[in-house]
């Protein structure tokens, strides 16, 4: 079959397929009681479909602000963020967010939390079809056995697995992860990183993930976007991570290029753009 792109996805002037996701001169200014606070200034970069991008920067540099605008929770003050060439103006099921604090409904079971999201996006589906989607996604994160437990009966890692399964059940094009493993112990964190890579490999969604952990970013990402400090934070470095996949943690640590990239990132954060409090 000959591939013919959807005309709506073509750039009107060049007729080239529109970039998957692009940040074009994005500024964000927050009104505060003390006056306008310019959080982000002139952020420009593009993301290809299927890329795994990690955003790193000191606390307060605007990482969550940027993700929130991709999610459609807020709008740039100037500039635009385009998905398939169309400005993002509101939330939609093509972009799902997973937060650090799981944000599950405590009175619903794992199954019900996921089912609720599926029902909100696909109200036309029968209960049987919805249940199939929920079971598939619970299995994807290894939680079939815990389906009928409420969040209070789940560990932190299990709660985050439910949150990831809930996001994936909607089949988003962009999976937005805001420090998803920040509250987890080191072992659970590594397990979830491996599972996330496996899911991403199978589903080929595009991932935008905020992390404070350089090793996590180097293990997971195709590119690490490093942000300068706020106010007026912007893109500082756009690092390509060349390690072949599937990645093996021990092999990565032995790779001299790994130490080079890690030192470059550390130098960016703690010398070139040191935070006063760091």
Ligand X SMILES: Nc1ncnc2c1ncn2[C@@H]1O[C@H](COP(=O)(O)OP(=O)(O)OP(=O)(O)O)[C@@H](O)[C@H]1O
The SS3 call for residue 46 is strand
User: In terms of CB distance, is 57 or 157 closer to ligand X?
Assistant: 57
Greatest CA span in the chain, whole angstroms? 60
Sheet holding 235-240, edge to edge: 95-98, 174-178, 206-210, 52-56, 223-227, 235-240
- Output the smallest distance, CB 266 to ligand X, in A: 17
Residues 193, 216: contact at Cβ < 8 Å? Answer: yes
- Output the smallest distance, CB 58 to ligand X, in A: 7
- Output the smallest distance, CB 230 to ligand X, in A: 5
> CA geometry: angle at 187 spanning 254 and 56, to 5°?
65
**Two tokens, residue 251:** 């092999």
User: In terms of CB distance, is 30 or 135 closer to ligand X?
Assistant: 30
- Output the smallest distance, CB 28 to ligand X, in A: 8
- Output the smallest distance, CB 239 to ligand X, in A: 18
User: In terms of CB distance, is 50 or 60 closer to ligand X?
Assistant: 60
User: In terms of CB distance, is 139 or 274 closer to ligand X?
Assistant: 274
Contacts to ligand X by CB under 6 A: 30, 32, 37, 39, 57, 59-65, 230
Residues 165, 98: contact at Cβ < 8 Å? Answer: no
Q: Are strands 223-227 and 174-178 parallel, antiparallel or unpaired?
A: unpaired
- Output the smallest distance, CB 25 to ligand X, in A: 18
User: In terms of CB distance, is 77 or 188 closer to ligand X?
Assistant: 77
User: In terms of CB distance, is 193 or 211 closer to ligand X?
Assistant: 211
Classify each residue of 12-29 as buried b or exposed e, where b means 16 or more C-beta atoms within 10 Å of its C-beta. eeeeeebbbbbbbebbbb
User: In terms of CB distance, is 65 or 206 closer to ligand X?
Assistant: 65
Query: Cis before residue 46, ω within 30 degrees of 0?
Result: no
Q: What are phi and psi of 199, to 5 degrees?
A: -65, -45
Query: Cis before residue 246, ω within 30 degrees of 0?
Result: yes
Residues 162, 141: contact at Cβ < 8 Å? Answer: yes
**Two tokens, residue 85:** 């060439």
Stretch (H or E) spanning 130: helix 127-140
- Output the smallest distance, CB 10 to ligand X, in A: 33
């Amino acid at each position: 079959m000959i591939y013919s792109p959807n005309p709506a996805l073509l750039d009107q002037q060049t007729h080239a397929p529109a970039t998957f996701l692009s940040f074009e001169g994005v500024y964000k200014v927050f009104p505060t009681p003390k006056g306008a606070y310019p959080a982000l200034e002139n952020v420009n970069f593009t993301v290809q479909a299927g890329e795994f991008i990690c955003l790193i920067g000191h606390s307060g540099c605007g990482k969550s602000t940027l993700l929130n605008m991709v999610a459609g929770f807020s709008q740039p003050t100037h500039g635009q963020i385009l998905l398939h060439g169309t400005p993002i103006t509101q939330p939609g099921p093509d972009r799902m967010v997973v937060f650090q604090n799981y944000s599950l409904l405590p009175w619903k079971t794992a199954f019900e939390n996921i089912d609720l999201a599926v029902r909100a996006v696909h109200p036309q589906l029968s209960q049987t079809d919805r249940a199939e989607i929920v079971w598939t996604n619970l299995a994807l994160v290894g939680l079939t056995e815990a389906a009928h437990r409420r969040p209070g009966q789940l560990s932190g890692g299990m709660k985050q697995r439910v949150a990831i399964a809930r996001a994936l059940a909607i089949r988003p094009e962009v999976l937005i992860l805001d420090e998803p493993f920040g509250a987890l112990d080191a072992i659970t964190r590594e397990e979830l990183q491996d599972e996330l890579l496996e899911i991403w490999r199978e589903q080929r969604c595009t991932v935008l993930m905020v992390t404070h952990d350089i090793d996590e970013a180097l293990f997971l990402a195709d590119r690490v976007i490093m942000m300068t400090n706020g106010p007026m934070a912007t893109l500082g470095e756009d690092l390509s991570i060349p390690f072949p996949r599937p990645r093996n943690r021990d092999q990565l640590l032995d790779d001299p290029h790994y130490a080079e990239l890690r030192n470059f990132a550390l130098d960016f954060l703690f010398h070139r753009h040191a935070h006063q409090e760091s």
